[in-house]
Amino acid sequence: MEEKVVSRFSKSDLKFLFDKKAIITNYPGSANNWAEGYFSHGSKYKEKILESIVSCAEGCDNLHGFVLLYSMGGGTGSGLGSYILEQLEDFFPNIDRFVACVYSTGSEDVITAPYNMMLATQHLIEYATCVFPFENRALQEITTRKNIACESKFSSISSPFEDMNSIVVNLLLNITSGSRFTGQMNFDVNAIKTNMVPFPKMHFLSSSFSPIGINDWPTVSSNSTREKNFLKACSKDNQMMTFNPLDVGQAVISGMLLGRGDYTLTDMRKYIKILQKKTPFLDWSDKCVKMGLCDVPPVGHAFSMLSLFNSSSVINLFDCMSSKFQTLLNKKAHTHHYTSIEGFDFDFFYECQNTVADIREMYEEIKIPDTSTIPRLQPNINYEYKKFEIE
């Protein structure tokens, strides 16, 4: 929303990418308050936002889906982002909504972030088709460890997050490459949800790719450099969240590999066998590895690998966020800023807590071998939420 931030783009070398009619700003932002972003900006800008989205959608020959990008810790991204996500479901119910969102874990720069992240996560659970969560501390670790080469020619839009954001952008470029280029076994983004989300709402995907930084760039393409690159793409070091989706003790319910450039079908078959041996898949999910091959590698590379996993390890993210949320809510600290916004009810705090606790439970229960006895893992059953009591 912030004019100052948006004008960095409209004045930069990248200005040709943006349709001026589709830029909506306001002064000021949402003061790190989800309720402000969702209720105040949401209701004020609803018409303008929808008008702009509909006009972009009408300009498409073949609308594949929406990609939403926002941070979860502040007020605008989390609040207005949640609002737009909900509106998209309403206006375009059959068009997929992919959300790449940054969790402020590790950067304690917004005190109310736990509230904002929990309220926004509730909306991700209910309205997103697939979520690609990024943790800022994971992005920070990667940029410290690896030498990330940013496009310096766009330095007019530089920010302290430039290197971290370039990782996010490259991941998205990999995810959408199947929709943009040809390939022997290509798939478009819509195939991700069918293959990766076995039960409704369990759509939080761990993602990683390789090469990421200059240190990772292989010079020649050979069987061994390609295999090393595949192993890096599945390693803990390259994950967009701080935990390893393939750790022993986790349950992996689906996986996906997308090889670009020089990768061959023989390579991919071999890697899937390696994965099936090493990965804590469940009895029924060890055949659930989707593979894809896209002809076109990222610029400057001969090959690259993207890996996605739907793993119970995402529980770590929910736990980390919930415990900070609980600490603040126990004292009802800062809650008056939310309840003073028209439309916000104190019960929304409990509701988001229940929704997150429920999805956490689903990821816990998935580890039980016979899921047919677990009602919430059956489609179309509305699970009754229990109300959490606080002192």
Ligand X SMILES: Nc1nc2c(ncn2[C@@H]2O[C@H](COP(=O)(O)OP(=O)(O)OP(=O)(O)O)[C@@H](O)[C@H]2O)c(=O)[nH]1
Site residues (vs ligand X, CB under 6 A): 29-32, 71, 73-77, 102, 104, 107, 109-110, 113, 136, 139, 159, 161, 164-165
Cβ neighbors of 379 (< 8 A, separation 6 or more) are 199, 200
Give the Cα separation of 257 and 65 in Å (integer).
21
Segment contacting Mg ion (CB under 5 A): 22-30, 39-47, 93-101, 156-164?
A: 22-30
CA atoms within 13 A on the CB side of 255: 27
Which x/- pattern over 272-291 shows residues binding Mg ion (rule: CB under 5 A)?
A: --------------------
Q: Which does 77 bind (CB under 5 to 8 A by kind): ligand X, Mg ion, none?
A: ligand X
CB closer to Mg ion out of 3 and 90: 3
Of 21-29, 290-298, 302-310, 371-379, the segment contacting Mg ion by CB under 5 A is: 21-29
Q: Which residue has the tokens 């009802």?
A: 332
211 binds Mg ion (CB under 5 A): no
- Min dist. Cβ of residue 157 to ligand X (A): 10
Q: Which residue from 291, 292, 280 is spatially nearest to 253, judged by alpha carbons?
A: 280
Given the complex with Mg ion, which of 4 and 15 has the nearer CB atom? 4
Q: Tokens 């209701």 label which residue? A: 43
Nearer to ligand X by Cβ, of 32 and 312: the residue is: 32
Stretch that binds Mg ion, among 24-32, 194-202, 204-212, 290-298 (CB under 5 A): 24-32
Contact track, Mg ion, 59-98, x by CB under 5 A? ---------------x------------------------
Interatomic CA distance for residues 224 and 216, integer angstroms? 14
> Which residue, 23 or 54, is less far from Mg ion as judged by CB?
23
Which CB, 74 or 79, lies closer to Mg ion? 74
The two three-digit tokens of residue 334, written as one number? 């800062």
Cβ atoms of 101 and 131 within 8 Å: the answer is yes
Q: Kindly state the smallest distance separating residue 143's Cβ from ligand X, in Å.
A: 10
In angstroms, the CA 360 to CA 316 distance is 9
Q: For Mg ion, which is the closer residue by CB, 37 or 178?
A: 37
User: Which residues, including other chains, have CB under 8 Å from residue 370's CB and lie 6 or more apart?
Assistant: none
Using CB positions, name the residue nearest to ligand X: 74
- Rounded to a whole number of angstroms, the minimum distance from the CB of residue 382 to ligand X is 32
Task: Please identify, using beta-carbon distances, which residue of 43 and 159 lies nearer to ligand X.
Answer: 159
Question: Cβ(131)–Cβ(52) under 8 Å?
Answer: no
**Closest to 203 in 3D by CA, of 121, 284, 281:** 121
The least distance separating ligand X from the CB of residue 167, rounded to whole angstroms, comes to 9
What gap in Å lies between CA 148 and CA 227, rounded to an integer? 22
CA-to-CA separations, 311 to 174, 198, 259, 291, in angstroms, rounded:
20, 11, 21, 17
Q: Which of Mg ion, ligand X, none has residue 306 at its interface (CB below 5 to 8 Å by kind)?
A: none
Q: In angstroms, what is the minimal distance from the CB of 236 to ligand X?
A: 19
User: Min. distance of Cβ 80 from ligand X in angstroms?
Assistant: 8
Residues shown for the chain: 391
Q: Does 29 bind Mg ion (CB under 5 A)?
A: yes
Using CA atoms of 23, 26, 31, 34 in order, give the dihedral in degrees to the nearest 10.
-60
CA distance 212 to 166: 10
Positions that interact with Mg ion (CB under 5 A):
29, 74
